[in-house]
Structure 1
Amino acid sequence: MAHLMACTGRCVGMTNSDGVYIGRERIDTGDCSGPRSARNVLMHPYVEAAVFETARGGILREGLGFDRCDVAVVTNIGMGDHLGLNFISTVEDLAIVKRVIVENVSTDGVAVLNAADPIVAAMAQNCPGAVTFFATDGNNPVLANHRAQGHRVVYVEAGDVVLAEGRFERRFELDAIPLTLGGTIDFQVENAMAALGAVWALGLSWPAVQAGLGDFVNDAQAAPGRFNVFSYRGATLIADYGHNPDAMLALVRAISSMPATRRVAVISGAGDRRDIDIRRQTEILGGAFDEVILYQDMCQRGRVDGEVLALLQEGLVNASRARAVQEIHGEFLAIDTALGQLKEGELCLILIDQVEESL
Structure 2
Amino acid sequence: KTTTARMCARILRAAGHTVGLSSTAGIWINDVALDEGDYAGPGGARMILRHREASAAVLETARGGLLRRGLGVEQADAALITNIAADHLGDFGSRTLNELLEIKWIISRAVRRGGVLVLNADDPLLVEKAKEHEGRIAWFSLDPEQCTAEFRPEHGWLIRDADGTRQRLCRIDDIPLTLNGAARHNIANALAAAAVCWQLGAGPEAIAAGLTNMQQDDNPGRGNLYQIDGVSVFVDFAHNPHAMAAIAQLTAALPAKRRLLAFAQAGDRTDELLRESARGGWALKPERVIISELANYARGRERGEVYGILREELTRCGVPAADILHTETETEALELALQWAQPGDLLIMLVLGEAEAVRGRLAEVAG
TM norm structure 2 = 0.91
Matched letter for residue 344 of structure 1: P
| Structure 1, 121-130 or 7-16: larger mean CA deviation | 121-130
Quote the residue 2:150 is aligned against.
Answer: 153
Of Structure 1 and Structure 2, the greater strand share is in: 1
Q: Work out the CA distance in 1 between the residues paired with 2:197 and 2:243.
A: 25
SS at match of 1:189: helix
Quote the residue 1:234 is aligned against.
Answer: 230
Change (3 A) 1:339 1:118: same
Q: Work out the CA distance in 2 between the residues paired with 1:74 and 1:87.
A: 18
Of 254, 261, 277, which aligns to 1:258? Answer: 254
* Cα deviations by residue, 1:114-135 (Å, 9 ceiling, x for unpaired): 1111112233234443111111
Quote the residue 1:292 is aligned against.
Answer: 289
Of 39, 42, 52, which aligns to 2:59? Answer: 52
SS at match of 2:173: helix
Quote the residue 2:357 is aligned against.
Answer: 357
SS at match of 1:15: strand
Of 289, 301, 304, which aligns to 1:303? Answer: 301
Displacement of 1:302 in angstroms is 0.9
Alignment of 1:1-359 (within 5 A): 1-78=8-85, 80-105=86-111, 107-140=113-146, 144=147, 147=148, 153-171=150-168, 172-219=170-217, 222-287=218-283, 288-299=285-296, 300-320=298-318, 324-353=323-352, 354-359=354-359
Displacement of 1:9 in angstroms is 2.1
CA contact (8 A) 2:295 2:303 kept: no
Displacement of 1:346 in angstroms is 0.6
CA contact (8 A) 2:89 2:96 kept: yes
Matched letter for residue 331 of structure 2: F
Q: Specify every segment of 5 or more residues in structure 2 that has no aligned partner in the other structure, as ranges.
A: 1-7, 360-367
Of Structure 1 and Structure 2, the greater helix share is in: 2
Matched letter for residue 74 of structure 1: I
* Cα deviations by residue, 1:289-334 (Å, 9 ceiling, x for unpaired): 1111111013111111110100110220233466721111222111
Matched letter for residue 156 of structure 2: G
Q: Specify every segment of 5 or more residues in structure 1 that has no aligned partner in the other structure, as ranges.
A: none
Question: Of the two structures, which has the highest relative contact order with CA contacts closer than 8 Å and spacing of 6 or more?
Answer: 2
Q: Work out the CA distance in 1 between the residues paired with 2:145 and 2:269.
A: 35
Query: Identity, % of aligned pairs?
Result: 34
SS at match of 1:255: helix
TM norm structure 1 = 0.93
SS at match of 1:258: coil
Displacement of 1:32 in angstroms is 1.1
* Cα deviations by residue, 1:24-67 (Å, 9 ceiling, x for unpaired): 11111111111111111101111110111100000001101111
Matched letter for residue 276 of structure 2: R
- RMSD (Å) for aligned C-alpha atoms: 1.5
CA contact (8 A) 1:293 1:327 kept: yes
Q: Work out the CA distance in 2 between the residues paired with 1:209 and 1:286.
A: 37
Displacement of 1:357 in angstroms is 2.4
Q: Work out the CA distance in 1 between the residues paired with 2:203 and 2:280.
A: 42
